[in-house]
Structure 1
Amino acid sequence: MRTTLLPTLALLALASPARADDAKLLAQQAKTVLKTHCYRCHGQDGSVEGAMNFVTDLGKLVARKKIVPNDAKGSRLFRRVDDGTMPPPDENPRPSAAEVAILKKWIEAGAPTGETDSAHKQITQADVFAAVLADLETLDRRARRFQRYFTLTHLHNAGLSDEELQTYRNALAKLVNSLSWGSKIVNPVAVDANRTILRIDLRWFVWDATIWNRVLQEYPYGVLDDSVSARAVAVGTAAKQPLLRADWFIATASRAPLYYDVLQLPANLAELEKLIRVDAAENIRQERVTRAGFNGSGISRFNRVLERHDSAQGMYWRTYDFDEPQANLVDRVNGGLLPDRRNIFAFPLGPGGLAENPFQHAGGEAIFALPNGLHAYYLINAVNTRLDKGPLNIVSDPKRPDRAVEAGVSCMSCHVTGILPKADQVLDHLGKNPKAFKREESEVIRALFPGKDAVLKLMEADAKKYAEAVAKTGAKVSRFEAVSTITQKYEADVDLVSGASEIGLSVDEFRGRISQSELLVKHVGALRAGGTVTRQLWVQAFGDIVREMQLGGLYQANLNGPTLKDNTGELDPLEARGDSANQWAFTPDGRRAIVASGDRSVRYFDVEGRRDLKRFVGHTASVWAVALSADGKWAASGGMDGTARVWDLATGLEIAKFTDHTSLVSAVAFVPNGKWVVSGSFDGTVAYWKVADGKEGWRVEKLGLVTALAVDPHGKFVAVATENALVMLDLATGAELKRYGKFTSPLSAVAISPDGQWIAAGNDAGTVRVWQLSDEKARFTLTGHEGGVRSVAIKDGGRWVLTGGADRTLRLWDTSAAKQELPAFRKHGASVTGAAFLGNGTQTVSGDRDLTVLPWKIDRFIGTAPAPKVEAPKTPDRIPYAEP
């Protein structure tokens, strides 16, 4: 029994709200009334009756015109409360007259919300990947490749309340379990505080990489993030795109053909019946079926027959649907005027081959229980071939844009209780017309059509089991089914707020960026003036929006690589096709470089000639780390195959290999004498091993995600960049010497000055910190990159720092300047993954992910350095200059 409002509430309503406190009190009273009488159907646990789940959000009630301030009669919600239709008449408790008066008084006072607007904390893409990475780290390493994630963050950022988001969670839980061959209901698990990121395990639903990649073939919103966290998530899950928008998935995987493909259903009904262990023809012959025939099903335009079988998982219902015959009779068989075979009251037996005079159906629907108790759906034509949509001349769904019945979503929307109770009319017809059929036919009809009471009892039992299964998903059986409701919300037009949140920008920034692009003005310019664009046009324009706004690389489903042996993910989710440079290591004169390539090779690159001199082949997956020995004779590399290798530059031969990492080798560095290599991995280890034989000298574990390394030029220590700290390890023993952090964003690049006295490290948030070796805290914090830092270099004295970023810029920092206009080089067209000061002191060289190398003359920024006591040979000036 629900408690009613305190008696004093009615007295409080008599007070006139003359002050802000009074308005706040009145708003609280109105909210209490709504929560007491309306919330259970319009928000509680995600309930969405009437497609409304925000009844306690007073501001949203006004914004969505359910309430019209100062006009109680014009407020639809109030009118329904006042006339007693809301809550429905059979709901208790009922609003009292005093409570209705409170709502009226609140509306006539201007419908104040009683709350000051507070900033809705936005969830960034970095936040999403950080949460997913943190979740993966709680799981056993072998289990991580089975994990996939659905996101609601853009809806949270668009201002949806938790009640509204709960409807999405309910719909997602119901749908993934409705696409499952698992024996139990298992719901997605929230992994963040706002419950906007939901994890599933492919094994729960008997899915694998083939199913996930089939879903990705349809996904229009795939953007490849260049951050360390995103890379680590891809490595951990063995998937290029392990995250999907939940609303898109609900609206797309609930509709054929994707619905069929995720459920792995065959192309015809005979094969489906084999799958669920049903022999329909034999069951009919042996009278092991229960039928109901009737007119006016509400979906079918003419009469319909329902037929129930037992299956391996429980029940299996199928329908026989009929197209409508012409109104006038014509000669049909040998000039006779026989009844139309589409009339089940004249021909209740069939289908063809199972009766002397079978009915002539045009198609139908199959509904069967999954092992977990939820239902699956299947549309067929007259010859039992699978259909994505039912023919409009036979069936229709007024909730779909084209009114066509779609396999999956239309069936869920209609069959909200499972099997809709329908009373049989055929047995009554036989009783009233005993001479219409032969005696043998009448006996068969009575055996197959036991009458309405028997059929309704079976339907009631099946509906009860279905409701119990639905409840386990967190949803409930109601008139407004969660999956179809969310599908309609997703398919609605896109406005400026929803578009900005889907792109990941603020409304003002999104509007401004549209204005800067002639292409986007044509595509989505209507959004700037408060208009909308259709969902179809938004999807069509999404790729152009990402490219024009430089939001990342577009995911291409056709570029997925080979899968793991157990088909749970890709062998190398980081592999790239064509030219790609994940890291650069330049010679001091800038004329040569070693490149870590996404195509499994290590390139020895002629910078001036813009060509490969050699390719070192041996890695079996993409390469992500490279280094050059001080004498320029050897190169080191690390890759997704978990190995680190050393190469002879002169011969191109592999001379050493270290195989004891268990994940991506993300960083390598030579010690000054070139005899040892330090390698770091996403498995949290750093190893010190000998070039001569690949034997390990020492190993440090449990460092977290190792992202970059830099070795002290004097050979005393190695700086290790991790996801949340910068750790100094003794180069001789591996002992920890010092630790900087904990940082909120993963470090992504680190460098030590040539004199070994200064350290610079950049992170995924675009921030660079600079320490003097003796410092306990960073001496300088440099901000300006609009994306993560991908490379860093620092000169002696710590004054000049060079950084390359995912924002496609190269930046020169003067740490001595209190305030400065930052010199920035903007000629790169992709993320800058390598940057270095040249030995001549007046230039830099930088390379980007697209394998483009550009020089930058910086002497006008840093001035001319005094000549050293011993004149060093100058680097010949042969690299063409490029102005910033």
Structure 2
Amino acid sequence: MRRTFLTPLALLALMMLGSPARAGEGDPKALALQAQTVLKAHCYRCHGQEGSVEGALNYVTDLGKLVARKKVVPGDPKGSRLYRRVDEGTMPPPDEHPRPSAAEIAVLKKWIEAGAPGGERAARTTVTQNDVSAAVLADLETMDRRARRFQRYFTLTHLHNAGLSDEELQTYRNALAKLVNSLSWGSKITTPVPVDANRTVLRIDLRWFVWDATVWNRVLQEYPYGVLDDSVTARAVAVGTAAKQPLVRADWFVGTASRAPLYYDILQLPANLSELEKQIRVDAAENIRQERVTRVAFNGSGISRFNRVLERHDSAQGMYWRTYDFDEPPANLVDRINGGLVPDRRNVFAFPLGPAGLAENPFQHAGGEAIFALPNGLHAYYLTNAVNARLDKGPLAIVSDPKRPDRAVEAGVSCMSCHVTGILPKADQVLDHLAKNPRAFKPAEVEVIRALYPGKDAGLKLMEADAKKYAEAVAKTGAKVSRYEAVSTITQKYEADIDLLTAASEVGLSADAFRGRIGQSDALVKHVGSLRAGGTVSRQLWVQAFGDIVRELHLGGLYQSNLNGPTLRDNTGELDPLEARGDSANGWAFTPDGRRAVVASGDRSVRYYDVEGRRDIKRFVGHTASVWAVALSPDGKFAASGSMDGTARVWDVQSGLEVAKYTDHTSLVSAVAFVPGDGTNRGIVSGSFDGTVAFWKTADGQPAWRAEHLGLVTALAVDPRGGFVAVATENALLVLDLATGRERKRYGKFAAPLSAVAISPNGKWIAAGDDAGTVRVWLVGEDKARFTLTGHEGGVRSVAIKDGGRWVLTGGADRTLRLWDTSAAKQEVPIFRTHGAGVTGVAFLDNGTQTVSGDRDLVVLPWKIDTFLGAAPVVAPKVEPPKAPARIPHAEP
């Protein structure tokens, strides 16, 4: 007699039902807990545990989803498929133990009759794109700088935000781990590494799978969701990984890289089977001639519509199976020669030898599938036509896959879905046919047939051995060999129609916010208006509309794979992942009167720009990568610049010639500033993503001092009186002594990276903005910020401060310019909304009544602010300033 031992969870459920006055009776929360307990005890191991997804169900303990997805019908146990199967004894399967008791089944029934109340789930914090970038940057900073360019990342953040359970997310992780290793020529199984607390950002190293920039860029050619984030953190990630787009969505990757042609291209498979066989060291023709193969032939494969031949070879990695598939012959095909019937050559039982060229009477196949072991033990797949040319999809007349939308067998995903155990065991039928029909073949043919077709026992033994090795390899990825294979299951989920919650999560908004934004845009109403009414959108239409959605919602710049630049020597990434083509302005430095500006351009040049004429006066050319920082000397005669090429340079504005260069930085030079002084002793301070700040002389380009290990330096400003330099980093504001480089003061640690800093003309106030849109203002020498200003909906990109710290001007990635009065306890902040791109440079003009600002698209706009300032400037300039340029019109906020 079998004893059934109840799990602690099951015992808990029974205890709660153990008396006439049952604990929790009528309490929805108690009923939900009891139901969850039963499902966890008996169903969870196949439907959620470690991402298991039998029956495409991996959320069995999520009571709300069971109802939402119609597995349970509230109030109707008999109409609830899940309950019926438990009550009938088909779930768990009959051979699974322990079995649900009558009391446990009663728990489920009572829960459903009570309306199937949902259980309590822990509140989930939304993960933002900034959170993702921060997690990636933190991960990169744990490793050697040289190793960073090999790192790439996959994200599940949008699925986490959409409310998928940990079990559902684990299925995605399993699918990703299996797929990347199934696209690998590496010798080991290596699973993606989670780098954030939620395990929604996963890292791989290109070297694990023998990938390089060519492979990654091929992936990006298909990627429709590439958005270039303008944050400092995202820029640092791009610099570290040497990739414009080092992150892609894991669900998209599984649903796309598992299908040809991308599947073939990542594996770098050739265009015909003979070349593939050379690649894996198989000489198929010679093996057949020398009878070094094992064949299995049969009818009714389930995929092929007619008979099929399997043929096994040894390969460099272990095994290589190929199939010969056949057209189904017309039922009335009769070919009479000399009064006799000739069998159809598509009938392998009449013609078991071949292919053409290797037998006197060969079979006539129409194509087939190749399955071969990768060095790590997983399998790769290849479809061919009759002449062994590569196919993305098999012809429907020969093979079909009922799980695919068009029923076509697709290389990769269809093969994985079918060959869940590796090589599906099939018993040979040719040898039995030969035994019963010995006169069907010539004696010489009989000998060859017996050599190539050793019988069902020999064939099944080889298949079993190959399947065992495959299962061991799959287990190392974290997935399982089961009827519901992880990659094909996730592919189907990705391809399904999407609802409002899914769509909103994919663009980083809540469902309510996205619904509202759709209603504000004619373009979005046309594309995805059905989501507002509770409908769905097909995945194909969503992808088609995604570019417009990004533009309408101002999510960032669209990634374009055709704009990737030259690669590094070792082909691991781009020489300059930050380079931009066309008009772009990463930073601005304006003359006091606003007539001229120096622009840090993404096209490797420094522009000397005529603001009035909206044109370049000249370009300073010499940097070998994009420029990200500029400054003008107080007398306007010299310009300084910092670039992705790791150099800081000084230019003579009049001649456009380079007069000095500092080459000791090893990463992006993100900030430059002139030190008060002139002549040959002129000094420059430069800061870099390599964590250094240097004070160096233009006379010889040698550092007077160099401060190191400061963290990611994002911006800096020099005290106009020459006392100190304020350095913005990824999490702190540092005040360094200008004479020695020693740290005087440190403010922070801040939650978001600082992105802009300025010092007031009297040297007493420091203002700094961060990537979260917050601006802080300090009085030099004090420990805490005097003012914290919030309101920007994106990162602060530029800041200016005047009049004893009272007025602060900020420009942000949200395309706005804001004027803050720190003396006002409460105020309506004037906002200038005319820019069409992120504002990357701002300045107060010395006429005291206007500002000037430049954005990333090289557009410069003035703003008349005297109505907000009220009285004349607090400190009148000593020298009469020139009048405001007549060609710069007044603008209203």
TM-score normalized by structure 1? 0.98
Q: Distance in 1 between matches of 2:653 and 2:667?
A: 26
Q: Distance in 1 between matches of 2:341 and 2:250?
A: 56
Note the C-alpha offset of 1:329.
3.0
Corresponding position of 1:689: 696
Corresponding position of 2:292: 288
Q: 1:472 corresponds to which letter in structure 2?
A: K
Where 1:677 maps in the other structure, the secondary structure is: strand
Within a 5 Å distance, the mapping from 1:744-759 to structure 2 comes to 744-759=751-766
Corresponding position of 2:587: 583
Corresponding position of 1:87: 92
Percent of matched pairs sharing the same residue: 83
Task: Report if aligned partners of 1:170, 1:473 keep a CA contact under 8 Å in 2.
Answer: yes
Corresponding position of 2:7: 4
Where 2:264 maps in the other structure, the secondary structure is: helix
Note the C-alpha offset of 1:68.
1.6
Task: Report if aligned partners of 1:17, 1:23 keep a CA contact under 8 Å in 2.
Answer: no
Note the C-alpha offset of 1:820.
1.5
Q: Distance in 2 between matches of 1:256 and 1:9?
A: 49
Question: Is 2:890 the counterpart of 1:881?
Answer: yes
Q: 1:194 aligns with which of 190, 194, 198?
A: 198
Q: Distance in 2 between matches of 1:625 and 1:435?
A: 87
Q: 1:540 corresponds to which letter in structure 2?
A: Q
TM-score normalized by structure 2? 0.97
Q: 1:433 corresponds to which letter in structure 2?
A: N
Question: Is 2:872 the counterpart of 1:860?
Answer: no
Task: Report if aligned partners of 1:13, 1:26 keep a CA contact under 8 Å in 2.
Answer: no
Q: 1:128 to 1:17 in 2, by over 3 A?
A: farther
Within a 5 Å distance, the mapping from 1:776-791 to structure 2 comes to 776-791=783-798
Corresponding position of 1:818: 825
Within a 5 Å distance, the mapping from 1:421-570 to structure 2 comes to 421-570=425-574
Task: Report if aligned partners of 2:25, 2:31 keep a CA contact under 8 Å in 1.
Answer: no
Q: Distance in 1 between matches of 2:638 and 2:580?
A: 25
Note the C-alpha offset of 1:334.
7.0
Q: Distance in 1 between matches of 2:41 and 2:500?
A: 34
Question: Is 2:812 the counterpart of 1:805?
Answer: yes
Corresponding position of 1:24: 29
Note the C-alpha offset of 1:66.
1.2
Q: 1:755 to 1:77 in 2, by over 3 A?
A: same
Q: 1:57 to 1:868 in 2, by over 3 A?
A: closer
Note the C-alpha offset of 1:855.
0.6
Q: 2:626 aligns with which of 602, 622, 625?
A: 622
Note the C-alpha offset of 1:12.
2.2
Q: 1:172 to 1:333 in 2, by over 3 A?
A: farther
Where 1:670 maps in the other structure, the secondary structure is: strand
Note the C-alpha offset of 1:61.
1.3
Q: Distance in 2 between matches of 1:296 and 1:870?
A: 94
Q: Distance in 1 between matches of 2:712 and 2:761?
A: 26
Q: 1:643 to 1:288 in 2, by over 3 A?
A: same
Task: Report if aligned partners of 1:49, 1:479 keep a CA contact under 8 Å in 2.
Answer: yes
Q: 2:187 aligns with which of 183, 188, 206?
A: 183
Q: Distance in 1 between matches of 2:12 and 2:376?
A: 49
1:819-875, CA deviations, whole angstroms, 9 ceiling, x for partnerless residues?
Answer: 221111111111100000000110000000111101111001102316867753132
Question: Is 2:352 the counterpart of 1:348?
Answer: yes
1:337-378, CA deviations, whole angstroms, 9 ceiling, x for partnerless residues?
Answer: 200000000000000000000000000000000000000000
Corresponding position of 2:710: 703
Q: 2:309 aligns with which of 302, 305, 308?
A: 305
Q: Distance in 2 between matches of 1:673 and 1:175?
A: 61
1:126-153, CA deviations, whole angstroms, 9 ceiling, x for partnerless residues?
Answer: 0000000000000110000000000000
Q: Distance in 2 between matches of 1:789 and 1:874?
A: 29
Corresponding position of 2:418: 414
Question: Is 2:404 the counterpart of 1:400?
Answer: yes
Q: 1:730 corresponds to which letter in structure 2?
A: D
Task: Report if aligned partners of 2:810, 2:842 keep a CA contact under 8 Å in 1.
Answer: yes
Q: 1:351 to 1:817 in 2, by over 3 A?
A: same
Q: 1:4 corresponds to which letter in structure 2?
A: T
Alpha-carbon RMSD across the aligned residues, in angstroms, is 1.4
Corresponding position of 1:60: 65
Corresponding position of 1:743: 750
Q: 1:682 to 1:868 in 2, by over 3 A?
A: closer
1:556-600, CA deviations, whole angstroms, 9 ceiling, x for partnerless residues?
Answer: 000000000000000000000011000000000000100000000
Task: Report if aligned partners of 1:69, 1:107 keep a CA contact under 8 Å in 2.
Answer: yes
Where 2:570 maps in the other structure, the secondary structure is: coil
Q: 2:798 corresponds to which letter in structure 1?
A: S
1:429-486, CA deviations, whole angstroms, 9 ceiling, x for partnerless residues?
Answer: 0000000000000010000000000000000000000000000000010000000000
Q: 1:20 to 1:833 in 2, by over 3 A?
A: farther
Structure 2 unaligned blocks of 5 or more: none
Q: Distance in 2 between matches of 1:676 and 1:870?
A: 26
Corresponding position of 2:375: 371
Corresponding position of 1:160: 164
Corresponding position of 2:225: 221
Note the C-alpha offset of 1:697.
0.8
Corresponding position of 1:844: 851
1:61-113, CA deviations, whole angstroms, 9 ceiling, x for partnerless residues?
Answer: 12222112222111110100000000011111111111111111222222223
Q: 1:25 corresponds to which letter in structure 2?
A: A
Within a 5 Å distance, the mapping from 1:257-272 to structure 2 comes to 257-272=261-276
Note the C-alpha offset of 1:402.
0.1
Task: Report if aligned partners of 2:518, 2:528 keep a CA contact under 8 Å in 1.
Answer: yes
Where 1:840 maps in the other structure, the secondary structure is: coil
Q: 2:780 corresponds to which letter in structure 1?
A: L
Note the C-alpha offset of 1:36.
1.1
Corresponding position of 2:683: 676
Task: Report if aligned partners of 1:758, 1:796 keep a CA contact under 8 Å in 2.
Answer: no
Q: 1:39 corresponds to which letter in structure 2?
A: Y
Q: 2:111 corresponds to which letter in structure 1?
A: W
Structure 1 unaligned blocks of 5 or more: none
Note the C-alpha offset of 1:25.
2.8
Structure 1 stretch 86-95 or stretch 529-538: which is displaced more? Answer: 86-95
Corresponding position of 2:103: 98
Structure 1 stretch 358-367 or stretch 61-70: which is displaced more? Answer: 61-70
Structure 1 stretch 738-747 or stretch 821-830: which is displaced more? Answer: 821-830
Structure 1 stretch 57-66 or stretch 106-115: which is displaced more? Answer: 106-115
Note the C-alpha offset of 1:335.
6.9
Corresponding position of 1:113: 118
Q: 1:335 to 1:220 in 2, by over 3 A?
A: farther
Q: 1:335 to 1:376 in 2, by over 3 A?
A: farther
Q: 1:335 to 1:544 in 2, by over 3 A?
A: farther
Note the C-alpha offset of 1:210.
0.2
Corresponding position of 1:48: 53
Task: Report if aligned partners of 1:16, 1:22 keep a CA contact under 8 Å in 2.
Answer: no
Q: Distance in 2 between matches of 1:198 and 1:8?
A: 37
Note the C-alpha offset of 1:672.
1.0
Task: Report if aligned partners of 1:17, 1:26 keep a CA contact under 8 Å in 2.
Answer: no
Q: Distance in 1 between matches of 2:208 and 2:60?
A: 35
Where 2:586 maps in the other structure, the secondary structure is: strand
Q: Distance in 2 between matches of 1:868 and 1:833?
A: 27
Q: Distance in 1 between matches of 2:767 and 2:623?
A: 30
Task: Report if aligned partners of 2:593, 2:884 keep a CA contact under 8 Å in 1.
Answer: no
Q: 2:608 corresponds to which letter in structure 1?
A: Y
Note the C-alpha offset of 1:880.
2.1
Where 2:670 maps in the other structure, the secondary structure is: strand
Aligned residues between the structures: 883
1:721-743, CA deviations, whole angstroms, 9 ceiling, x for partnerless residues?
Answer: 00000000000000000000000
Task: Report if aligned partners of 1:309, 1:317 keep a CA contact under 8 Å in 2.
Answer: yes
